[in-house]
Structure 1
């Protein structure tokens, strides 16, 4: 359509002419017919309850995790696919039909070719598509309503100037009912149950299945059940998993759109009690986003994108009645380690302190034998506790929370729990986790159990068996002790005054932790690898030291309390930058190591779980490590402008990735260690977003440089 601007349309829709959006322009891909091949470009919309909508940019489903309404039936878990897709056919006044959907089928077939009409996309303020049609533009938008179990899909017909003709939109509804990890195989005798209502239909896959509800603002619905067979999931094939599914078409919605008119379809767990106007829904979401940005005290296009990306991981957990953090989309639930690392960048630095307090309380409620849970299973079973570091990161997060809030009352709740953590670690707890009384260092591990963040496991094979004393675990242990030393001093002076038994208790504990920390600091000297000028990765229980050059040593430089000398810290940073630094985070192993795997999945076109796990921490680059690299570099090289320019240059590829690759508007879990550093794993990972957000907000000089050099709003793909 000549003269139509998607960005201008959105500015008018939200009533904010000062806003700016990164619009992906697909004109070049239309000419080469290659958008159908870009199943690696995806979008995501979430609701703060664990439910979400996600597909490829071409509106195809290339994963088992794709769909328009994946509902968390027990927030944020028991995620269940209900509305898989909507297949639209636009009919112009001359009777010409244009199919707007795109599907992948077994045998590498692609049909229909709706991607040919897709001109532009942006993820902000909500996922929005521009379809160029004869006589005008159709704008499609998808919004998960925050705090509600409902997705709203809106269509707006914008005819060319002088065109007063209506557009007829006929939409096929493709439904499902399954756990989002599985797949559906249809049966000709299986008919979904439907209860038609005025402007709506209630759908149940079978009698015992959960009912969900489709509502529409206008038009008519015709029930017409039929199975569509043999869809293909290219992304699942690449992961070595089952790659096909069947979907059930429940019927068609037909509507006549007059010039400038909008139409909405909603899917929810309850019948809609109102008619949703897409412009109002988008405007409300923009207002909510603006409030999140305002709480951070920072401005800018990168800031807005990072904050809204981070907001997608914050969820309500029904089992505790509090907030939690999903580790990543699509398949991760809430994990202790990920939550405690992510909370600073997602909630504390961003000014969302009430939610941060709630997340800390949620995990504290599940403290057991001195350990926070490793993760809450997606199907709702009891939490698992195979982690040595989630609890240590809890102390770091609590310290950051207090530094930002001065909330002494919350310290009084949390610090006694951390005291119990220390007692449990001194006495010994699960999986051989115990403080060595000789050197004061923390050790842990047993055969076939993975405890650190390098936790890949293939059957009984732990790929990185870091039993013994791991370097980052002991940097964190030292920081936990120093944190408790400081917090008990704070409680003694700020809350309890200068005399009395409670004052004496806090003062005594502070001194005790100081002594323990000093013992651990002296013991930590055993990690120094003099021949490499850096730190060993693990000191084994048998005394063996692992000389592998891994990024775990960076935490000895980046964490607030330094466990090594400034000279040693400078050496560690130099080795990490020389061996591990990429534009997408730090590699997990130096390329010169014989065990290095620079390609995730060992170059296999269809890498199964075994081969993916074999390479998960053997060379892949992890964006979340970039945050602590930045802290380490600032600690060594200071706040000079030249240092932040160097840092910004290294972070810029991640910012560009957020705008142009994988999940548009978010940051992937991992990247290949080798160039061109393909994004892999989860398309949106909490700690990847959190750590980039944290340092962008923490260092204003860095933020200013990145905002000044970020790509322009319109990006050709």
Structure 2
């Protein structure tokens, strides 16, 4: 089976091809993202999108797109594609596409009369530079190529309009030009591996529209500046390489750099696992300050909870122990700093939320399951102890250990859990008090720590303390959360209990150390399976519960109200698989494998080779939100790894 190859019949059908996006990153925050027909449909799309720390923490679109034109016998055939006002697509270059293949590097094959040409794109690792290789496979007469760069120089979350502040000046550099449209931006260097002719012919292309932004209720029209065009001849069998980056490069090195980058791509996206492994590595984010995981593309940064949830699957499940340890080093440093000073971290967002220490324990717990208790104790034993001491001593300003052994947090005015939708500054789901997943993670963390140090005589008093708290937690957990219908209420705050059927109970069902016995877990899991399970993950609310809203569409406010009211989340399949296998053992493997088919189908949908942030809770379970989401990719990888062990 070829996962990521599409023929001309599919490519020329814009209704089918425009919704499919592709993503490439440099593992340092920069990316290239567009549709498979190279028509940008989001303001975050672009050939070269980079972070500019000197300006802000957002990404910035430098080079939006590059229109190619094939010229033979004086006739010009433009291969570009843009959507303009009035539902007009131009210049309709997609009609020349014969094949798109994304198993290794994105490759598009064009046929224009007797001309057959391929285009391949490579993003340079840890460098803000993209290379595009054009190869003339066949031609029966002299051929000339023209290239028109569409420049943006703007924040990826904003739009550009025609203006007179823009600096039209450019400088000639080796085999190309450089320019800087606005003050504060780096220069953009556009070069070729052989000398082109640059014709300065500045124009604004007005009214370019972005379909996805229009669907989401955002401004969706912009004007892009084209300074002119490059022109150069190409011979049959010849390859021309275009480079766009923020530093000047040596044209002689383009072919070597391209081949080196190609050689580093060891694993083609030729299977479900390989697609997800490549996708996982695209979230790697290395800076001078440390190693991190981005929460998703194209608009998420580094967020503490997402990083801890995604980390085991995005690293350990693909055999990358070093990246796990590098990211954990940065995470531990940031969390320790917050625990000691109360200060936020510049690089990891939301590290002050009350469940972050609990998810950190969860991540270390999964490291121990993968690498063994002894190695885990050596690497992270002290970190586990310090987190538990911090919680027990009441160090967190919004995480309180009550006498009944349960953790309490105030979430009435500010979101405190992963269900973090906000409208007008207030939580859509004001989960407050005793949260079910907080206390499931807490109990597991206590028992895990006790097991981690069970053989350490010097830690005997600590182990005794943790077990004593866990005993109280277990008794209170069952009394507080388990209802007469066999499932767990979502949260309890005084006399108020939220009996909505939500997936947060899965956390407590999934862990090795659970306050519930096997019979109680089985009964609760049956409710989850019956009311929340879909082919694309676990619903955030049961269709039987009040307020069910399965479709994540409309304005931002409408989407916020729907965010956790029914749409399905793939990352929760990790907890579901853990819980299911604890109940049914090896006999549950075939069922879980069937449930993963929906995610395998997703490899050729939305962002090809990756998994969207969320999916509608009702058929046809359309992908929504961010096109590639780290927690989803990581947890599905972890499930695949788990099932593999059962099948060995």
CA contact (8 A) 1:696 1:702 kept: no
Asked if the contact 1:100/1:117 (under 8 Å) is kept, the reply is yes
The partner residue of 1:27 within 1, 5, 8 is: 8
| Post-superposition CA distance 1:391-447 (Å, at most 9, x none) | 21211212322443459687456433333322332343555311112x101110243
Q: Among 107, 116, 131, which residue is 1:152 paired with? A: 131
Q: Answer whether contact 2:338 2:351 (CA < 8 A) is retained.
A: no
Aligned to 1:627: 574
Structure 1 695/442 Cα, relative in aligned 2: closer, same or farther at 3 Å?
A: same
1:542-575 deviations in whole A, cap 9, x for unaligned?
2322111111111122122222100011111111
The structure 1 residue matched to 2:66, chosen from 83, 86, 103, is: 86
**Greater alpha carbon shift after TM alignment, 135-144 vs 231-240:** 135-144
Q: Which residue of 2 aligns with 1:225?
A: 202
CA–CA separation in structure 1 for the residues paired with 2:487 and 2:500: 10
The farther-off stretch of 451-460 and 124-133 is 124-133
Q: For residue 665 of structure 1, what is the aligned residue in structure 2?
A: 609
Instruction: Please tell me whether the aligned partners of residues 548 and 593 of structure 1 are also in contact (alpha carbons under 8 angstroms).
Output: yes
Alignment match, 1:499: none
1:669-684 matches, within 5 Å, as 669-684=613-628
> Does 2:472 align with 1:512?
no
2:71–2:144 Cα contact (<8 Å) kept: yes
**In 2, Cα distance between equivalents of 1:590 and 1:275:** 60
Give the match's secondary structure for 2:109: strand
- Structure 1 equivalent of residue 644 of structure 2: 700
Pair 1:386–1:240, CA change in 2 (3 A)? farther
Q: Please give the secondary structure, in 1, of the residue aligned with 2:32.
A: strand
Q: 1:523 aligns with which of 476, 481, 499?
A: 476
Cα pair distance change 1:696/1:109, threshold 3 Å:
same
Is the CA contact 1:353–1:405 (under 8 Å) kept in the aligned structure 2? Answer: no
Over residues 108-137 of structure 1, what are the superposed CA-to-partner deviations in whole Å (9 max), with x where a residue is unaligned? Answer: 221110111122222221112122221142
When structure 1 is superposed on structure 2, of 307-316 and 349-358 the one drifting more is: 349-358
Q: How far did 1:629 drift?
A: 1.1
1:226 counterpart SS class: strand
CA contact under 8 A between 2:137 and 2:237: conserved in structure 1? yes
1:68 is paired with a residue of what secondary structure? strand
CA distance in 2, matches of 1:284, 1:553: 48
Alignment size in residue pairs: 645
Given that residues 114 and 140 in structure 2 are in contact (C-alpha distance below 8 angstroms), is that contact kept between their aligned partners in structure 1? no
Match of residue 347, structure 1, among 295, 315, 323:
315
Partner Cα separation in structure 2 for residue 581 and residue 382 of structure 1: 32
Could you tell me how far 1:220 is from its partner in structure 2? 2.7
CA distance in structure 1 between the aligned counterparts of 2:382 and 2:633, rounded to whole angstroms: 31
Range 404-413 or range 258-267, more displaced: 404-413
Question: Which residue of 2 is the match for residue 534 of structure 1?
Answer: 487
> Which secondary structure state, in structure 2, belongs to the residue aligned with residue 639 of structure 1?
helix
Change (3 A) 1:382 1:486: closer
1:672 to 1:702, Cα distance in 2 relative to 1, 3 A: farther
Distance in 2 (alpha carbons) for counterparts of 1:432 and 1:444 = 5
Report the equivalent of 2:151. 175
Distance 1:703 1:583 in 2: 22
Q: Give deviations 1:615-654, integer Å, cap 9, x for gaps.
A: 00000001111122112111111113xx322212211111
| Residue 443 (1) aligns with residue 413 (2) | no
The 1-side partners of 2:647 and 2:99 are apart by 28
Counterparts in 2 of 1:425 and 1:254: CA distance versus 1, 3 Å: same
Tell whether 2:565 aligns with 1:597. Answer: no
Structure 1 stretch displaced more, 381-390 or 57-66: 381-390
What's the RMSD between the two structures over aligned residues?
2.6
Cα distance 1:217–1:151, how it changes in 2: closer, same or farther (>3 A)? same
Contact 1:366 1:372 (C-alpha < 8 Å) held by counterparts: no
Measured in 2, the distance between the counterparts of 1:482 and 1:537 equals 22
SS at match of 2:52: strand
Q: In the alignment, which of 280, 283, 286 is matched to residue 316 of structure 1?
A: 286
**Can you list the C-alpha shifts for 1:515-553, whole angstroms capped at 9, x where unaligned?**
22222111111244443211111111x232211111111
1:387 aligns to what?
A: 353
1:98 maps to what in 2? 77
- Mapped to 1, the partners of 2:64 and 2:557 lie a distance apart of 29
Aligned partner of 1:205 among 174, 178, 181: 181
| Residue of structure 2 in register with 1:306 after alignment | 276
The 3-state SS of whatever aligns with 1:87 is strand
In 2 relative to 1, CA 698–285 (structure 1 residues): closer, same or farther, beyond 3 Å? farther
Quote the Cα distance in structure 1 between the aligned partners of 2:646 and 2:15: 37
Looking at structure 1, the residues matched to 373 and 197 of structure 2 have their Cα atoms a distance apart, in angstroms, of: 55
8 Å CA contact 2:413–2:426 kept in 1: the answer is yes
What SS is found at the alignment partner of 1:192?
coil
Shifted more, 269-278 versus 61-70: the winner is: 269-278
Distance in 1 between residues matched to 2:227 and 2:367, nearest whole Å: 50
Quote the residue 2:240 is aligned against.
Answer: 263
**Aligned to 1:255, what secondary structure does the other structure show?**
strand
CA contact (8 A) 2:6 2:101 kept: no
Q: CA deviation at 1:338?
A: 0.6
Query: Residues 446 and 554 (structure 1 numbering): CA distance in 2 closer, same or farther, change over 3 Å?
Result: closer
Q: In structure 2, what is the equivalent of residue 14 of structure 1?
A: none
Write out per-residue CA displacement over residues 308-354 of structure 1, whole angstroms, 9 at most, x where no aligned residue: 01110011033x2x210000000000111111010100011222111
Give 1:4's aligned residue.
none
1:686 matched to 2:630? The reply is yes
Q: Determine the C-alpha separation between the residues in 2 that align with 1:666 and 1:610.
A: 27
The whole-number CA distance in structure 2 between the counterparts of 1:400 and 1:690 is: 12
TM-score with structure 1 length normalisation?
0.85
Distance 1:167 1:22, change over 3 A: farther
Given candidates 510, 523, 528, the residue that maps to 1:576 is 528
Superposition pairs of residues 133-532 of structure 1, within 5 angstroms: 133-159=112-138, 163-188=139-164, 190-218=166-194, 219-277=196-254, 283-290=259-266, 301-318=271-288, 320=289, 322-367=290-335, 368-370=337-339, 383-405=349-371, 411-412=377-378, 414-430=380-396, 432-437=398-403, 439-489=404-454, 492=456, 503-504=457-458, 506-532=459-485
Segment of structure 1 superposing worse, 618-627 or 406-415: 406-415
Evaluate the alpha carbon distance shift between residue 126 and residue 472 of structure 1 in structure 2; reply closer, same or farther with a 3 A threshold. same
In the alignment, structure 1 residue 50 sits paired with structure 2 residue 29: yes
Q: Note if contact 2:177-2:191 (Cα within 8 Å) is conserved in structure 1.
A: yes
The answer on 1:611 being equivalent to 2:558 is yes
Secondary structure at the residue paired with 2:621? coil
